[in-house]
Every structure is written in C-alpha cells, then in structure tokens.
Structure 1
Amino acid sequence: MPLPVPTSPWLDISMDFVLGLPKTKKGRDSIFVVVDRFSKMAHFIPCHKTDDASSVAELFFREIIRLHGIPNTIVSIVMLSFSVIFGDLFGINWALNCCLVQLVTLKPMGNRGDKNLRRWEDCLPHIEFAYNRATHSSTKMCPFQIVYGYIPRAPIDLFSLDAAETPHIDAVAHVEQMIDLHAQTHQNIAAANAKYQVAGSKGRKHITFAPGDMVWLHLRKDRFPTLRRSKLMPRAAGPFKVLTKINDNAYILDLPAEFGVSTSFNVADLKPYVGEDEELPSRTTSVLEGEDDEDINYNTGTSTPAAPPSSSLGQSLGPVREI
C-alpha cells in the first residue's frame, strides 16, 4: 500500500544512510540522505558510520530543520531513537555510484584511482545540485522547480538565459504559478503511486487481520540480528496477538518487551496462526526435581493431532512417544 501523497514541500520526508564508502580526508565514510517526498528534493550529508542518534539529530537540525523547518512525518528504514516509519530512496544510490565510477575512471594510473575514489565528499555538493535540477520520473518536474518555482541556473546556462525560466517579478503571478505546480505535482505522484501499486500487487496474496487475531512473525535478519545469528535458528516467532490495525499493510502486535524493537510490522512479515481456540500451550516443559528426560510424561491428556500414515520407515524407528 503506497504512503499518502504529500501536499507541500518538506512536510513529509524520508531518510536513509549510504554506508561502507572509502574514508575521506575528514574520516567520513557514510552519507546521510534526506529526501522531501513531495518535491523529491534531496540533501546528501557526509557523516560517519559510527555516528550515534544524537550526532544524527544534530546533523538533521543543522542541515534540514535550518533550511526547511520541522516536518510532519519522517519515513525511514533505519531504527533510530526517534520516531521513524518506512521509506524509499530509489535512484539516489544510482546517482552516487555513477559519480564514483567517473572519479575512478578519470586517471586510473597507479594509486590515482583510489585517491580519486576517496574524494567523493568533495563531489557531494555537485551531485546534490545535479540531482535536484534533474527531472524526476514521479513528478515529471525537477525538485528545484517544485520548491522554488523555477530552475536555478547552472554554469552552462551562463551562455544563454531563457527568460521564461527566470523568477516572476509579479508576486501574484508567482503564487499562482506555485499553486499550479504543487497541484500538478500531487497528481503526478498519485498517478505514479497507483502504477507502482498495481505492479507490486501482481502475484501477491491479499491477507488482512483483525485485532485479536493470532499471527506468526517473520524474524528478519536486519531487524532481529541476535535471533538470526545462525541458519539453524528459527525464522519465525509467536504466535502473537494483533492489538491494532493501522491499515491493511501495517499492524501492531502484542510483542514482549525483551525483543527490543518497534511493535508495528508490515503485513508481509505476518502469517495467520491456525491452532486451538483454547489457551496456547507453553513453550517450556516443566520438570520436577530429580526427574530426567526419560521420566517426563508427555501425555497431558489433551487431544492430539492425528498421526501420519505409518510406513516401513516409520515402523523401523520403534514406538512413537505421544506428545
């Protein structure tokens, strides 16, 4: 399900991190990327991979709030110590990779390639300007035009200046132009989201849950690293009760506090639990003092699922213990 279409620039933003880059002279090895979801304008902020939440918050205030104010919503795929949701930054890594390739191929003799590769921080302002001046596939306009009402001049424009792309002197005409631009941008984003939704829903089974339903939770490695350290560890946990339905795509679960993560999950990570209506059995088995595994009586007296048909292989394994 696509996110709601924003209505104005820099009220709804998304952010992400590009990690693992070569260290620059200033010791930076990552990029803090912040994108306006309406105009698609982006800021590429160099940072360190080891920056904590307070350092990121300081960068956010200095580079984003200083210029655009405080947003209404923040969409992100990273788990920080302040409120985040879910985000998408398609296309930004492509622009950065293109620049890095050009840096390496300038003079790839000796160690020049590695030296040029470490100059990516010096190129970020140029990348940001070029990105914000390029036409975006969703809005059909460039971010500068949506935010400012005109396209800023580049060095190549010094040779010929088109008067039609200069700012309007008349304030009323400028306001009307901005209103028309934002309305057209909103329509273009809505049309693009509808197109992406149709493409993304192909072959996908639509499942919805209601508060009180029991579900299995898929343990993703990036969200539960301690629970997925080995291939032999369980890939799912639960069942857990659905507390709140945010929408058809997101739910809040009754997750134990020891998991240490947000309790909201995408429907793609949930599967319906089909079990008894009675109280769920405990995961642990009570053992009395002095007993060993052979002394435990596994027959609790409750109904058990029917055993599978017997086979020659099953008969050769000996008697089956009732659970």
Structure 2
Amino acid sequence: MPNTILDIAVLPKVQSKAVNALVDQFTNLLSEVRLKLQESNTKYKLAADVRRREKIFHPGDLVVVRLRHEHLPPGSYSKLTKKKWGPFPISRKINDNAYVIDLPAEFNTSHTFNVADIYSYTPPDDCNTNLEYVSTDSNQSGDE
C-alpha cells in the first residue's frame, strides 16, 4: 500500500489489487468533488443572474454618468450634490462592460466607465436634447 496518493503517481504500473482499489476510490472521490463544485457554482450563478441585467450601448448614445465624489473637481462636493451627471455621448465601446464617455475637461477623471456607472438617458417629453456641458462650479447660488 502506498503511504500517500502521490506515491501512486510515481508508480503508475503497480500490480497490487489494494493499490488499484485505492486509485479507483480516489478517482471517484475527485470526480464527485468536481461535480459538487460545478453544481454549487451553477447555483451561485443562477442566484447572481437574477439581479444582473445586460446594458448595451452604442457610440453616439446619450447616457447619464454616476460620478463619485473622488471624480468631481476639488471643493465642489457636498452630500447634497447630485450623483448623476449628463447627458453625455458615448465616444466608443471598449467591450460590453466598459465604455468611453465624452466628458468635459472640468471633470478630472478617466473617460472610461464601467457599465454599472452608466445609465441610459431618456429626455423629458416635448423637449429638445441640449448637449451643452453643465458647469460644476461650487460658486453657483441655490436660488432659481
């Protein structure tokens, strides 16, 4: 009898019936473990896919971008600042999960965004879409 299963790899042509039985038992154990792992991974994937939605955009589409406070100009962030900015056009598609957005220069951030931070823009009814860039200056008054 081998001391460990690794000893079998060293001696592949063994005549002992006990060793062959141990090899068969270990092979069956490994196949069962692989099957259980595949089943649990499939279960986890199904649970994750329930909340997942596919978002596909094309170059030229107008989108609203979620910017975290790290990406806004210094001194312009407060808790009450809006989180989504836009609409901005999509410049190009890197893959289904990343897009390059045509942001104004005042946003000191990368122009590449994950699809989780991009939302499709729906203009209000009876309104022309205006592509002027919104200023993020903190000097604007709150009066309208």
Q: TM-score, normalised by structure 2?
A: 0.52
Counterpart pick for 2:111 among 230, 239, 263: 263
User: Which residue of the partner structure matches residue 100 of structure 2?
Assistant: 252
Would the alpha carbon gap of residues 279 and 238 (structure 1) be closer, same or farther in structure 2, given more than 3 Å must change? Answer: closer
Would the alpha carbon gap of residues 196 and 244 (structure 1) be closer, same or farther in structure 2, given more than 3 Å must change? Answer: farther
Q: Does 2:79 correspond to 1:231?
A: yes
| Deviation of the 1:260 alpha carbon | 3.2
Counterpart secondary structure, 1:216: strand
User: Which residue of the partner structure matches residue 302 of structure 1?
Assistant: none
Amino acid at match of 1:165: L
- In structure 2, the gaps of 5 or more residues are 12-33, 136-143
The CA deviation string for residues 53-73 of structure 1, in whole angstroms up to 9 with x for no partner, is xxxxxxxxxxxxxxxxxxxxx
Count how many residue pairs are aligned between Structure 1 and Structure 2.
Answer: 106
Counterpart secondary structure, 2:134: coil
Counterpart secondary structure, 1:201: helix
Q: Does 2:115 correspond to 1:274?
A: no
Q: Give 1:101-120 correspondences, 5 Å limit.
A: none
Amino acid at match of 2:66: H
Q: Give 1:62-73 correspondences, 5 Å limit.
A: none
| Deviation of the 1:213 alpha carbon | 0.5
The CA deviation string for residues 247-279 of structure 1, in whole angstroms up to 9 with x for no partner, is 333222112344333322222211111235554
Q: Distance in 2 between the 1:256 and 1:208 partners?
A: 23
Would the alpha carbon gap of residues 255 and 169 (structure 1) be closer, same or farther in structure 2, given more than 3 Å must change? Answer: farther
Q: Does 2:55 correspond to 1:207?
A: yes
Pairwise CA RMSD: 3.7
Counterpart secondary structure, 2:47: helix
Counterpart secondary structure, 2:68: coil
Amino acid at match of 1:260: N
Would the alpha carbon gap of residues 282 and 262 (structure 1) be closer, same or farther in structure 2, given more than 3 Å must change? Answer: closer
User: Which residue of the partner structure matches residue 163 of structure 1?
Assistant: 4
| Deviation of the 1:210 alpha carbon | 1.0
Q: Distance in 2 between the 1:200 and 1:166 partners?
A: 41
User: Which residue of the partner structure matches residue 29 of structure 2?
Assistant: none
The CA deviation string for residues 288-320 of structure 1, in whole angstroms up to 9 with x for no partner, is xxxxxxxxxxxxxxxxxxxxxxxxxxxxxxxxx
Q: Distance in 1 between the 2:50 and 2:76 partners?
A: 29
Counterpart secondary structure, 1:241: strand
Q: Distance in 1 between the 2:84 and 2:71 partners?
A: 10
Would the alpha carbon gap of residues 261 and 195 (structure 1) be closer, same or farther in structure 2, given more than 3 Å must change? Answer: farther
**Post-superposition, which runs of at least 4 consecutive aligned residues in structure 1 deviate over 6 A?**
none
Counterpart pick for 1:242 among 87, 90, 103: 90
User: Which residue of the partner structure matches residue 283 of structure 1?
Assistant: 134
Q: Give 1:53-68 correspondences, 5 Å limit.
A: none
Q: Distance in 1 between the 2:109 and 2:6 partners?
A: 49
Counterpart secondary structure, 2:87: strand
Which structure has more RCO (C-alpha within 8 Å, separation ≥ 6)?
A: 2
Q: Distance in 2 between the 1:166 and 1:257 partners?
A: 65
Amino acid at match of 2:119: K
* Percent of paired sites with the same residue: 36
Q: Distance in 2 between the 1:255 and 1:220 partners?
A: 14
Q: Distance in 1 between the 2:102 and 2:111 partners?
A: 7
Q: TM-score, normalised by structure 1?
A: 0.27
Q: Distance in 1 between the 2:3 and 2:43 partners?
A: 34
* Aligned 8 A contact 1:219 1:228 in 2: no
Amino acid at match of 2:131: L
